[in-house]
Amino acid sequence: MRAVIPLHIAVSAATLLAGCTATGPGPSSESEILVLAVRPSSASIDGGAFVQLTASIPGDEALVTTPLDIGWSSADPTIARVGADGLVEGRRAGEVRINANWKNAHGSALVKVARSQKPAPDDAPCLKRLPVPVKSIVSDTECR
């Protein structure tokens, strides 16, 4: 009698084997392409708010490795920008894909920015910065 292996088990086993080499997790050759698991895989934030993304090589939970030299990028930095540590800041309303790269491994997350960052009032920050009394201001254009 022939044994039937469910598809999800076969895919999981293939993914696990692809992420492991004799020297540990990671690509065994430059031509091998791996998947990075980016968490959370999607997020919704407001402009001015932040969400922390992480990326790891998927596999057995005991063997999950988080590479230190992950490259992060935003498909549209005007919607959301991402720092070298995976911290994403919402800027204006829209959806953007945040990409993670490590060697030949790639992954991404979708970030939705619900509303744009509120601009600061024109005069309040300016008045706080001025070393002179407010009465000496002729016009608000001197602040800018």
Task: List Cα–Cα distances, 70 to 6, 8, 38, 76, 137, in angstroms.
Answer: 33, 28, 11, 19, 49
Q: For the segment 114-134, what is each residue's pLDDT rounded down to a tens digit?
A: 988 776 555 445 545 555 555
Q: Under a CB-based contact definition with an 8 Å cutoff, are residues 59 and 15 in contact?
A: yes
Residue 51 confidence (pLDDT) = 97
- The pLDDT of residue 5 is above 70: no
Residue 117 confidence (pLDDT) = 76
* pTM given for the model: 0.60
Phi, psi of 94 (to 5 degrees): 150, -175
Q: For the segment 35-93, what is each residue's pLDDT rounded down to a tens digit?
A: 899 999 999 999 999 999 999 888 766 556 677 789 999 999 999 999 999 999 999 99
Quick one: how far is CA 12 from the chain centroid? Answer: 25
- The pLDDT of residue 136 is above 50: no
Which domains can be identified in the chain, with CATH numbers?
7-132 (2.60.40.1080)
Mean pLDDT score, 90-113: 96
Q: Which residue has the tokens 């490590």?
A: 102
Cα separation, 38 vs 109, whole angstroms: 6
